[in-house]
Amino acid sequence: MPDFVSPDPIWLHARIRPASTAAIDLAMGMSWTYRELDTDIQRAVTVLEARGVEPGARIAVLAQNSVYQIILQQAAMRLGAIFVPMNYRLAALELRLLLRDCTPVLLVGEAVASALPEGCEAISMAAFADLVAAAEPRPRRTAAIASHETCIILYTSGTSGTPKGAMLTPQFLLATAVNFNILGEVDTGCVFLCDSPMFHVIGIVTQIWPPLLRGGTVIVSPSFDPELTNARLSDATLAVTHYFCVPQMAEALRHASNFNPSQWTNLKALFTGGAPNPPTRIRWWLDQGVLIVDGYGMTETGTTLGMPLNWEIVRNKAGSVGVPGPLTAVRLVDETDQDVADGAPGEILVFGPNVTPGYWNRPEERERAFTADGWIRTGDIGRRDGDGFISIVDRRKDMFISGGENVFPVEIEAALISHPAVREASVIGIADERWGEVGRAYIVVATGQSLDADELVEYCRTLIARYKIPKEFHFVDTLPRTTSGKVMKHILRSGDWPPPPPSC
């Protein structure tokens, strides 16, 4: 017997608040009540069964955000199939490798014929929507689907260059929703604007499951556009209460021509995650009258840590990612897996129902990623203060040792970004004959500003120790980032950045 059955909040709210708005698709100009959304999910079950999709089969998706992605994911879960959203920006070779890994029986979206594995049918998202509209709702199953079975395979963004398929379970989805709802003060009247890509955990889990669990509304945009997002946050008819993005997206919002946060009158908070958000940036947002709430999670753990919706705490502890959600346990440990004292850096270990059981087709990766007693090793170094709030120091693999001292690039990057002429900064360790390793900083200068290395060195002297100051500064137009906004430091380390200009 499973410990509990798969959660189905849409069916719940279809019965207790059937006429409430569940979802709005901005591109399609369509909306669904909870009753309508539940019915369309049952129609989608009919469509999938007619195509021979059975429990355990994989359904890949290659498309921009839409409510029909939510319908497809929910229908797959009701059927016991596995939903696999994929990055539609990948090249054909990259897609072929992922599709061969998960071997779907159906691909919905913009198929690349050369990437399709044998036996995989492909239909467009528009065709899927038409089929749903024409289908009869399948009678609801009475058999329960176990909460520990895989229902989503989510490929990591590949900051190391090698995506892995994290297996997410219904209990993962529910625990992430509960964690975010408590930390983010989500209620039944909530309205989430959803424009983070649905092939990432923020897009398909964190911006979808919390409002649906509470009976709120999800407003789906096909993709992020800073001008459009600013307009939507200011639109009183949409009345957006929660918006979740990565720091890179928040930066794009503030530099958009129509940025006017005084019009964000319904927004409870701007939530950020997925990458460090420097204290200087957090305080800047607070000064604009926007409560910016940072948190911590990953593909493998969903919402794990979060700051409270408290202006004083956020300002006083700017740079912290908060405390664990109610369904999560967190430890900070040293190299021997012993707990470290408050104030000391340690690797973050996570335990709870919001943790992946492992990686698709890669049992050896689970062995490397988990302790013997079931805690996942995040690879991130954190530091906990006396109040229990945790700050991210850096990725374990990004730390370098200079002259015998541990150096954490995130700390240096935060110092650099606080300079008014620096828009973006990323630091890596490089070999040095004298010191073993030293820092190399890649700097994107803010529009209309000028800057040189000597000025940055002098600026850093007032903020960080001398051994932490980078020895090299490379000024670049952009940084290599994943689609979720994370800097791909493996590319910086390769020496292939910036890329050479195209040949004529």
- Count of C-beta atoms within a 10 Å radius of residue 497: 17
Backbone angles phi, psi at 56, to 5 degrees: 90, -15
Q: Domain for residue 337, yes or no?
A: yes
Residue 430 has pLDDT above 50, yes or no: yes
Q: Domain for residue 488, yes or no?
A: yes
Domain co-membership, 378 together with 409: no
The residues, any chain, with a CB within 8 Å of residue 469's CB and separated by 6 or more, are: 412, 439, 457, 460, 461
- Count of C-beta atoms within a 10 Å radius of residue 478: 11
Q: Which of 57-71, 161-175, 343-357, 372-386 is predicted with the least confidence, judged by mean pLDDT?
A: 161-175
**pLDDT tens readout for residues 72-111:** 999 999 999 999 999 888 878 888 889 999 999 999 998 7
**pLDDT tens readout for residues 386-414:** 999 999 987 778 888 887 777 888 889 98
Domain co-membership, 320 together with 378: yes
* Domain final residue pick, 397, 428, 446: 397
Q: Evaluate the omega torsion of the peptide bond into residue 498 and state whether it is cis, within 30 degrees of 0.
A: yes
Residue 1 has pLDDT above 50, yes or no: no
> What pLDDT is recorded for position 489?
87
Domain co-membership, 403 together with 324: no
> What pLDDT is recorded for position 145?
67
Total domains present in the chain: 2
**pLDDT tens readout for residues 305-328:** 999 999 999 999 999 999 999 999
β-pair partners for 155:
165
Domain co-membership, 358 together with 445: no
**pLDDT tens readout for residues 209-253:** 999 999 999 999 999 999 999 999 999 999 999 999 988 899 899
Q: Domain for residue 178, yes or no?
A: no
**Pick from 388, 401, 378: nearest CA to 301:** 378
* Domain final residue pick, 397, 417, 440: 397
Q: Domain for residue 360, yes or no?
A: yes
Domain co-membership, 343 together with 361: yes
pLDDT category of residue 502 using cuts at 50, 70 and 90 = low
Domain co-membership, 358 together with 421: no
**Pick from 119, 85, 84: nearest CA to 105:** 119
Domain co-membership, 330 together with 366: yes
Residue 203 has pLDDT above 60, yes or no: yes
Q: Domain for residue 437, yes or no?
A: yes
> What pLDDT is recorded for position 39?
98
- CATH code of the domain containing 370: 2.30.38.10
Q: Domain for residue 257, yes or no?
A: no
If 0-12 CB within 10 Å is exposed, 13-18 middle and 19+ buried, where does residue 431 land? Answer: exposed
pLDDT category of residue 503 using cuts at 50, 70 and 90 = low
Give percent above pLDDT 90 in the chain.
Answer: 76
- Specify the pTM: 0.84
Domain co-membership, 326 together with 373: yes
Domain co-membership, 435 together with 480: yes
Domain co-membership, 412 together with 375: no
> What pLDDT is recorded for position 2?
46
User: CA-based diameter of the chain, in Å?
Assistant: 73
**Pick from 225, 227, 314: nearest CA to 268:** 314
**Pick from 75, 69, 87, 76: nearest CA to 28:** 69
Q: Domain for residue 355, yes or no?
A: yes
Residue 179 has pLDDT above 70, yes or no: yes
> What pLDDT is recorded for position 142?
58
CB of 244 closer than 8 Å to CB of 206:
yes
Distance separating alpha carbons of residues 62 and 103, to the nearest angstrom = 14
* Domain final residue pick, 397, 429, 457: 397
> What pLDDT is recorded for position 481?
87
Give percent above pLDDT 70 in the chain.
Answer: 96
Structure tokens at 351: 């335990």
The DSSP result for 83-127, as a single string, is EEE--TTS-HHHHHHHHHHH--SEEEES--GGGPPTT-EEE-HHH
Domain that holds residue 488: 399-494
Span 10-17, mean pLDDT? 97
Reduced 3-state DSSP string for 17-28: CCCCEEEEECCC
> What pLDDT is recorded for position 348?
96
Q: Domain for residue 168, yes or no?
A: no
Q: Which of 143-157, 340-354, 421-435 is predicted with the least confidence, judged by mean pLDDT?
A: 143-157
- CATH code of the domain containing 469: 3.30.300.30
Domain co-membership, 387 together with 474: no
Span 15-44, mean pLDDT? 98
**Pick from 305, 314, 264: nearest CA to 284:** 314
Domain co-membership, 428 together with 393: no
**Pick from 408, 425, 426: nearest CA to 417:** 425
pLDDT category of residue 143 using cuts at 50, 70 and 90 = low
Share the mean pLDDT of the chain. 92
Count how many Cα atoms sit within 13 Å of the Cα of residue 318 in the half-sphere of its side chain: 19
